Amino acid sequence: MTTYTIINPTTAKPVQEIHLADIFETDVIIEKAARAFASWRLVAPGDRAKLLRKFAAVVEAHTEELAQLEVLNSGHTIGNARWEAGNVVNVLNYYSASPERLFGRQIPVPNGIDITFKEPLGVIGIIVPWNFPMPIAGWGFGPALAAGNTVVLKPAEVTPLTAIRLAELALEAGIPEGVFNVIPGKGSVVGERFVTHPAVRKIVFTGSTTVGKHIMQGCANQVKRLTLELGGKSANIIFDDADIEKAAANAPGAVFDNAGQDCCARSRILVQKNVYEKFMEHFEVAVKAFRVEDPANESAEMGPLITAAHLARVQEYVPSGAPIAFQGTKPEGDGFWFAPTVLAHTNLEDRAYREEIFGPVVSVVPFTDEDDAIRIANDSEFGLSGSIWSRDIGRAVRVSRGVEAGNLSVNSNSSVRYWTPFGGYKQSGLGRELGPDALDAFTETKNVFFDTQN
Ligand code: TAP
């Protein structure tokens, strides 16, 4: 029997042993989900809606428990962890409206009537990374269940605790046995099996671009449906006409939130040359004031990195001699701590500038004008998120249209709103999650023609 020892990233101490499923156990659960599909898809739309609302209510009643579990397992700040549990509630409530609104179309055709139906796919395999265990799981299972699919979900090996609890809460809410299944295990075992098992009709994968490409190749064998949410190296673009103090005060949160372990982290800050010095002065004050501390403290703004191995990886991006402009603080002692670090690059071929570090490290680069800003922002294989700070509405519109990224904010660093579509350009992903159209990714369109001439 294979197990994994969960380590609390704040203390580096073991928390719990988790059994990792092998391929046979995975198959048994996939087959159970396939059987449950036959009845779940037939649950009347109003009843499925009620069950999802009940599931949301039960999760809401356990918000604090789930949040504390995420602090323990993932080192998330308690404020973030409460938001994350709340996001699952919101997503379930939002998509509970969908079963009763899963409309097809009646399309005018000669000699008959033509109707489209939105039909569920079957078993959906959701593969979740360790950086946002609850929200990323919910963005998949909320709309998937609403559309009438059943779900097998593999949490990241290192962060399974909240997903395991969510599956228990689903049963408590009355979601039938077999409809929502969480299978803790290795990506190379459970995740791979989702790709190869013919009963799994779609994969929703969030994680690294490297593993995403591998999964995409595997899905090709069965022309398996696939949504990919992958890496990022997003630009935070600050123009000279912006509120520089505000942009600088907000910039640490835009990249150091969740210790930079955020696919939407604005890990490249592009500042117009003539306000570069002013921005850096204010930014330094904000970075040094950013509270990196025990994530269980209500005042914490940043906690530790997820594992010792990840800490070592992040450290490699900041070798001695790295162009450090300034750094924030970190606690002493155990735990996987890395101080917020600001790099002022002159060489834009540096690994630290081009690659996704997934830690609290940001690069700051000057630019001359709008075209230069767009050119630098787009000079990346990624295209997930980003911000534009300017008081000039025309400029904000032009630059928003020019930047190749799926989710942009003007005079704000927010990325995720469950009401709006989320996903990446280029190697940041394929398809969109959330928003009003999410069920399109969990249904097939069936077209039926009725001949009225016979
Ligand atoms: P990965 O190493 O890619 O792992 C993600 C998930 O895939 C884990 O559950 C992992 O299992 C599993 N996996 C690994 N190898 C697999 C395989 N061969 N077949 C099937 N599944 C496999 O990523 P990570 O380090 O956990 O997460 C960080 C990455 O996720 C970053 O690049 C980040 O940008 C990206 N991310 C993107 C988004 C969006 S929305 N675009 C959101 C969050 C994170 P194990 O845990 O067992 O390895």
Contact 427, 231 (CB under 8 A): yes
- State which ligand 1 atom lies nearest to the alpha carbon of 209: 32
Calculate the alpha carbon distances from 300 to 81, 172, 253, 294 in Å.
12, 33, 12, 7
Q: Residue 120: its pLDDT value, please?
A: 98
- CA–centroid distance, 196 to ligand 1, in Å, is 18
At residue 128, the pLDDT reads 98
Residue 434 CA to residue 387 CA, distance in Å, equals: 20
User: Which residues are catalytic, by number?
Assistant: 229, 263
Domain residue ranges in the chain: 2-230+428-451, 235-416
- Ligand 1 centroid from CA 231, angstroms: 9
For 377-392, how does the pLDDT look when each residue is reduced to its tens digit (9 = 90+)? 999 999 999 999 999 9
- Measured CA to CA, the distance from residue 178 to residue 149 in angstroms comes to 11
pLDDT (mean) for 352-365: 98
What is the spatial distance between Cα 266 and Cα 263, in angstroms, rounded to a whole number? 9
- Second CATH level (architecture) for the domain 235-416: 3-Layer(aba) Sandwich (3.40)
Assess whether pLDDT exceeds 80 at residue 6: yes
Question: Which of 131, 306, 317, 433 to probe ligand 1 with, by most ligand atoms within 8 A of CB?
Answer: 131
Cα separation, 233 vs 348, in Å, equals: 13
Phi-psi map region of 132: left, alpha, beta (phi>0 left; psi -120 to 50 alpha)? beta
Q: Considering only CA atoms, which residue is closest to atom 6 of ligand 1?
A: 129
Q: Would you say residue 1 has pLDDT above 80? A: no
Instruction: Please state the rounded mean pLDDT for residues 233-238.
Output: 98
What pLDDT sits at residue 427?
A: 98
CATH of 2-230+428-451, one of 1.20.1250.20, 3.40.640.10, 3.40.605.10, 3.40.50.1000: 3.40.605.10
Question: What is the model's pLDDT at position 454?
Answer: 81
Q: How far apart are CA 274 and CA 279, in angstroms?
A: 10
Mean pLDDT of the chain: 98
- pLDDT category at 193 given cuts 50, 70, 90 is very high
Which residues contact ligand 1 via a Cβ below 6 A? 127-132, 136, 154, 156-157, 186-188, 191-192, 206-208, 211, 214-215, 229-232, 263, 356, 358, 384, 424, 429
- 190, 154 contact by CB (below 8 A): yes
Query: Where does the pLDDT of residue 39 fall: very low under 50, low under 70, confident under 90, or very high at 90 and above?
Result: very high
The string of pLDDT tens digits covering residues 258-270 is: 999 999 999 999 9
- Residue 187 CA, ligand 1 centroid: distance in Å: 8
Task: Please check whether residue 100 is in contact with residue 46, taking contact to mean a CB–CB distance below 8 angstroms.
Answer: yes
For position 224, what pLDDT does the model report?
A: 98
CA–centroid distance, 129 to ligand 1, in Å, is: 4
**pTM assigned to the model:** 0.97
Nearest CA to ligand 1 atom 40: 229
Tokens representing residue 278 in the block: 């002013």
Share of the chain above pLDDT 70, in %: 100
Task: Please report the pLDDT score of residue 346 as a whole number.
Answer: 82
Q: List the residue whose alpha carbon is closest to atom 11 of ligand 1.
A: 187
Q: How sure is the predictor about 327, in pLDDT bands with cuts at 50, 70 and 90?
A: very high
For range 412-440, the mean pLDDT: 97
pLDDT at 124 over 90: yes
